[in-house]
């Protein structure tokens, strides 16, 4: 008995001829087949550690930008607030103003959150 390699025939020559019916079925199967999803190992989705790492990088970049701003604005300015008079570098003054504004915003937001929680607990 001779093999395909000995007879010089390709494997396709020894297969039964495909009919129009089997070819149409094959094309239909390929069209209805859902695209393959990329397999991800279990537990490899976004994690708290990953999000914390991204937040730390963002905070470091913002800190560097704030530091550059302060270094570039070291001119002394006179600050008068209520009954206080003091002199600070301009960059520090602006930074303290932003921090004070953020604290006021957090206070107002916190009060609103407490109001909403109280309203949600009412029957």
- 3-48, pLDDT tens digit by residue? 555 555 555 555 555 566 666 666 666 666 656 666 666 656 678 8
DSSP assignment string, 73-119: ---EEEEEETTEEEEEEHHHHHHHHHHHHHHHHHHHHHHHHHHHHHH
Assess if residue 8 is contained within a domain. Answer: no
Structural domain count, the chain: 1
Domain that includes residue 65, residue range: 48-121
Assess if residue 63 is contained within a domain. Answer: yes
Q: Is the whole-model pTM more than 0.95?
A: no
Assess if residue 18 is contained within a domain. Answer: no
Assess if residue 53 is contained within a domain. Answer: yes
Assess if residue 10 is contained within a domain. Answer: no
């Amino acid at each position: 008995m001779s093999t395909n390699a000995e007879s010089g025939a390709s494997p396709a020559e020894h297969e039964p001829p495909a009919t129009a019916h089997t070819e149409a079925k094959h094309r239909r199967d390929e069209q209805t087949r859902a695209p393959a999803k990329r397999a991800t190992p279990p537990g490899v989705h976004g994690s708290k550690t990953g999000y914390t790492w991204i937040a730390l990088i963002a905070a470091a970049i913002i800190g560097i930008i704030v530091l550059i701003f302060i270094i570039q604005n070291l001119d002394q300015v006179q600050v008068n607030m209520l009954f206080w008079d003091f002199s600070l570098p301009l960059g520090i003054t602006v930074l303290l103003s932003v921090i004070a504004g953020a604290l006021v915003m957090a206070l107002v937001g916190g009060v609103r959150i407490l109001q909403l929680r109280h309203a949600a607990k009412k029957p």
